[in-house]
Chains A and B, each alone.
Chain A
Amino acid sequence: MDVKDETRGVRVRPKEEFNFFQDKRVRSGFYQILTAGIVGWLAWYLVSNTAHNLEVRGMATGFGFISSSAGFDTDFKLIDHQPGVGTYGRIFLIGLLNTLLVSFFAIVLSTVLGFFVGVMRLSSNWLVAKVALAYVEIFRNIPLLIQIVFWYIGVFSLLPVVKKSLDLSFGTGNLILNNRGFYFSSPVPGDLFWMTSAAVVISIIGAVVFVGRAKKLQDTTGKQTKVLLPTLAAVIGLPLIVYYLTGQPLEWDVPMLKGFNYVGGISVPPSFLALLVSLSIYHAAHIAESVRAGILSVNRGQHDAGMGIGLKPGKVMRLVIIPQAMPAIVPPLISNWMNTVKNSSLAIAIGYSDVVSLFMQTTLNQVGHAVEIVGMTMAFYMAVSLIISFCLNIYNKRVQLVER
């Protein structure tokens, strides 16, 4: 030991004794190698077993089956498919689109209904609040699968037969409901319809610019401009004028009773309706709870202050409470959307042709290839949830920037 060092007041760092078994890096390295080893061994064990089993049973592997033709048809599809011509890849695509279709509409409906019920739960009217509470508790505590099966068997399969179809459009035949599904007229655009579409785009762009100017004006000078009526008039009025000037170039393909079934228009099967209704109701109950929690998380003083500066209750809600509640509402809301997509896989119980029932069940039963098919289906759901959580992250970043 240097005496000089001590006199100069320089502290000497005590030399750490290197102990192989106590060294942090050695230990962490050891545990990581151990974990990797165990997991690696397990993976190798499973893979080698699988390879051996596939060989013994003479089962083919690889993704070749995707381009071979599928011999079965589905009752509901968004893209064309001919049995015997279309491939299994096409079947995967059909199922995937069907899943996304029903999830999309269920998400829209459940979000609207959920906000409505969530606000109802906070109503000052005792009866309204209790009805909303009963709704939430009943539909949250009954398994979704039971609800789906009930809507399918107990409601949509018991609708009148084709000959006695219900007409929901007061006799015009535009909306037909029976036990084969829901039929509605589809628009068939004529030659000049592009002009109407162009008018819609132009008026929307105009409205956005107008609203942006009005907001800027308010931010800089505090002057408020009436926005709602002019924009609505422009967005609806301009396309309408163009539509009538070009001679109403839009025909409706109305569903017609031909033989034993309705032909024409667009139709969705009862299984779609059952799934849509039950998913919307079930998830609306969950969304209502997060909306309520979000609104309650806003300080009571904000409400009082809003009332204090003379805003009406509706405006207090819209301008003061909701904007502050949104950061608390959105994350659970989006996780609910994710759950809606995942829960749409219960379609298999009622035969709606979603990705699980078409691909993971029917295709798997026909061609085998369990590993590939399960992998593809799971990859699809993972991709959806990755995209949704990516959007959530973007939103969270934006919200954080707005805050101080």
Chain B
Amino acid sequence: MAIVNTNKTPDRAAPISETSMLGWLRRNMFSSVFNTLLTLSMAYIIYLSVKGILVWGLFDATFVADNRRECYDNSLTGACWAGVIDWLDNIFYGRYPRDEIWRINAGGLLLVLWMLPMWLPRVRGKVLIGATVVVFYPFLAGYMFSGGEMGLFIQIMASGAIASFVIIVANALVGLTKDVGLDTFVLEALGKTKAPDKTQRNLLIVLAVALFVVANLWVSTWALEGVSWTKWGGLFLTLVISGIGIASSLPGGILLALGRRSELPVVRVLSTGFIEVFRSVPLITVLFMATTMFPLFMPEGFVLNKLTQVIIAVILFNACYMAEIVRAGLQAIPKGQFEGAHTIGLGYWGTMGLIVMPQALKHMIPNIVGNLIGLLKDTTLVSIIGLFDLLGMLRSISKDVPWLGLHKEPLIFGAFLFFIICFSMSKYSRHLEVKLSAGEKH
């Protein structure tokens, strides 16, 4: 006869070494003599550097002063942030006229509001948002930033921009409150749900055109003071160059990548050569090429300004890196997708545009964000050829008479600014990667 205890033995609590803070510390920092020594010496190094940074940058630092001498009078061992604070407007906007800075802010705000709906879960038509940003926003922003005479083309594009901005904001609001698309909402409001599709679509087009006409009337009354590109600078210029760079190099990169994978030998050789040449040389040589050789390339009497030269160089350079990202994305698409597309009778552009690219682009988003980070960092190079981007501005503080020789603080401030921007973007891209790959596992 066996004696069996039928009662369940009560659960014992986990050992204290597993649950307590001390247990964690012991496992992760003091597991052996060597590890203890390592931890202690690391902690000491961290303590020294954090203390040094805090004392220099915060406790002993001077935040309010008129010039560098006053900083020194206040404290010899601390940072002189007063110079950076004094130049803050220049660091962000360059030498843009102070009364017109609202235009930059408005342009930035517009972009944020425009793009924001892409991140809101209940909003529909996100492809439309992305497309309108790329097609219309640059022209509106370009006019807002540079002002002056408005040509007919710019007027049309700016009106298109305003019309699509209104539509997108309205669409986002409707999506958030009613959880439907704007088209459905408008049709329901007009009580025409029973009408055939074609009539409904025509109605929507008429509404959009009406909006465009109104916007056009408004835009034609605009008269913004002209601001020469030579006054652009600071973080603003950095963002303009990298923004245009990334937006234009994406289509360029897609074309080059398709060319490189093409079955036509001439197209393939030309694209491959182009990509490899630009990928094997440093950006600074391409920038020098732009400033020294572009003037020779142009027909006589046609002068490109330096900013345009630089932007073209950045686009050419970055498009080649983008092409490699796109190529990697295309390679991730299984062959069955191409074959399936051929089977249902799609031609080359149909296959690529409707089947392959939409899937490949999704895979590429994290890498594209990574490329954007790289481009943003690389944009500092334009300061070498004499544009006053963020780094250019930071370096000119030390040449300003009251702040003569103030080198370190501006550079550290710039490094901090870049770190915040790039680090948050890279965290975001990491998050996207996880999110997108999670969607793959069914």
Q: Which residues of A contact B (CB under 8 A)?
A: 28, 31-33, 35-36, 39, 46, 49-50, 52-54, 56, 124-128, 131, 137-138, 140-147, 149-150, 153-154, 338, 342-343, 345-346, 348-349, 356, 360-361, 364, 370-371, 374, 377-378, 381-382, 384-386
With CB as the reference atom, state the residue of chain A lying closest to B377. Answer: A143
A-B pairs, 6 with minimum CB distance: A126-B28, A385-B280, A32-B266, A143-B377, A141-B422, A342-B282
Is A131 touching B384 in the complex (CB atoms < 8 A)? no
Q: In the complex, A253→B258 CA distance in Å?
A: 60
Is B264 touching A356 in the complex (CB atoms < 8 A)? no
Q: In the complex, A138→B422 CA distance in Å?
A: 10
Give how many A-B residue pairs fall within 8 Å (CB-CB).
157
Residues of A within 8 A of B277 (CB): 378, 382
Is B263 touching A28 in the complex (CB atoms < 8 A)? yes
- Among A31, A126, A146, A364, point to the contact of B292 (Cβ < 8 A): A364
Q: Is the interface of B mostly helix, strand, loop or mixed?
A: helix
With CB as the reference atom, state the residue of chain A lying closest to B376. Answer: A143
- Given A125-B28, A150-B411, 14 further pairs, Cβ under 8 A: A35-B266, A50-B293, A141-B373, A141-B426, A142-B418, A143-B380, A146-B415, A149-B391, A150-B415, A153-B408, A154-B407, A345-B282, A345-B285, A378-B281
Is A348 touching B300 in the complex (CB atoms < 8 A)? no
The interface bits of chain B over 356-383 (1 if a CB of A lies within 8 angstroms of the residue's CB, else 0) are 0000000000000000010001101101
Is A125 touching B39 in the complex (CB atoms < 8 A)? yes
Q: In the complex, A28→B378 CA distance in Å?
A: 39
Is A382 touching B280 in the complex (CB atoms < 8 A)? yes
Q: Which residues of B contact A (CB under 8 A)?
A: 28-29, 31, 35, 38-39, 42-43, 45-46, 263-267, 270, 277, 279-285, 288-289, 292-293, 295-300, 373, 377-378, 380-381, 383-384, 391, 395, 407-408, 411-412, 414-415, 418-419, 422-423, 426
Residues of B within 8 A of A131 (CB): 42, 45-46
Q: In the complex, A126→B46 CA distance in Å?
A: 14
**Contacts A31-B264, A49-B298, A364-B292; A125 near B282 (Cβ below 8 A):** no
B23 CB, min distance to chain A CBs, angstroms: 13
Residues of A within 8 A of B391 (CB): 143, 145-146, 149
A189 CB, min distance to chain B CBs, angstroms: 38
Residues of A within 8 A of B297 (CB): 46, 49-50
Is B266 touching A36 in the complex (CB atoms < 8 A)? yes
Residues of B within 8 A of A382 (CB): 277, 280-281
Is A370 touching B292 in the complex (CB atoms < 8 A)? yes
Is A49 touching B299 in the complex (CB atoms < 8 A)? yes
Q: In the complex, A386→B384 CA distance in Å?
A: 27
Is B423 touching A53 in the complex (CB atoms < 8 A)? no
- Among B31, B282, B415, B426, point to the contact of A142 (Cβ < 8 A): B415
Among A56, A141, A377, which residue has the most Cβ atoms of chain B within 10 A?
A141
Residues of B within 8 A of A32 (CB): 264-267
Q: In the complex, A384→B422 CA distance in Å?
A: 30
Residues of A within 8 A of B407 (CB): 153-154
B172 CB, min distance to chain A CBs, angstroms: 32
- Among A126, A127, A146, A384, point to the contact of B380 (Cβ < 8 A): A146
A122 CB, min distance to chain B CBs, angstroms: 13
B238 CB, min distance to chain A CBs, angstroms: 10
Some 29 contacts from A to B, beta carbons below 8 A apart, are A31-B264, A46-B297, A49-B298, A54-B296, A124-B31, A125-B35, A125-B42, A126-B28, A128-B39, A131-B45, A140-B426, A141-B422, A141-B426, A143-B418, A145-B384, A146-B391, A154-B411, A345-B282, A348-B284, A356-B288, A361-B288, A364-B292, A374-B288, A374-B292, A377-B281, A381-B280, A381-B281, A382-B280, A384-B280
